[in-house]
Amino acid sequence: MAAPFRHASFYRFVPLPDPEAVAEQLRAWGLRGLTGNITVAAEGLSAAVAAPTDVLAAFEAALVSGFDLAFAGLHFKRNDCERLPFTLLKVHVKPEIVAFGVEGVSGLQDGASTHVSPQQWRALLDDPDTVVIDNRNSFEWKLGRFRGAIDPGVAHFRDFPAYVEAHREAWAGKTVAMYCTGGIRCEKTAAWMQAQGLKVAQLDGGILNFFELMPDAAADWEGECYVFDKRIAIDPTRQQPTGTTAEDVFTDPADHWRLARARRLDP
């Protein structure tokens, strides 16, 4: 029997001259049953939403056909859910869809393509001239990671640039292969890292895309993947719930606020 709900995550860096108007239009659609979080900024849109499958399909169709086709061809990373992972729909307008912390850096910056497919990513994991960097927070790396991946030890995404600066010389001549949950953090950092003289490869679509396209993803992934909703974690087969709780994830006292935030997701 098919699962009653479906989750989709997606983003696109695209100029949006009036993000407030985009947000208002999204709210005005009023699709009953759609839940999740959508962030809109002048640099684009990022979202994680869930709904009954027919409602989600209607939302996706409206998004890709609206807004002067700014989101045509958008890549939705989907997986089925037995229960809704969100309670409400929230549409936010922010200065950035993901905050990097370096002035002037935008996901709209030009740079040579750094995307690699899941199949190419697997080959990079076996390449001795590759440094594999987890572009997420430390608590996420501890829960699960690609084999051989380094934890930069950052508590916030804005700490990542300092880590790169400190290791740039040591990485000279190597490929810096980085990944994150859905790809958006890597998208924001790739052109900036290229400008630092680094050879960069980013996993296209992130961990979620790897899980979706690689049936044997567990051969390269150790543990579980944290997701920012009621499911808490998924495994490489995208099954949930895994039994992992927020209390299992946030064991560091410094993460007490993250634990409180996760608890607020229920019921």
Which residues are marked as active site? 180
- Cβ contacts of residue 124 below 8 Å, gap of 6+? 116, 130, 132, 175, 177, 201
Cα separation of 206 and 77, whole Å? 10
Task: Measure the CA angle with vertex 67, ends 66 and 68; round to 5°.
Answer: 95
Q: Please, what's the b/e burial string for 38-76 (b: 16 or more CB within 10 A of its CB; e: otherwise)?
A: bbbbbbbbbbbbbbbbebbebbbeebbeebeebbeebeb
**Quick one: which H or E segment has residue 180?**
none
Task: Tell me 256's DSSP state.
Answer: H
Distances (CA, A) of 144 to 71, 86, 150, 235: 31, 22, 12, 9
Q: Which of 4, 99, 112 lies closest to 43, judged by CA?
A: 99
- Gyration radius of the chain over CA positions: 18
Decide: 66 and 19 in contact? Cβ < 8 Å.
no
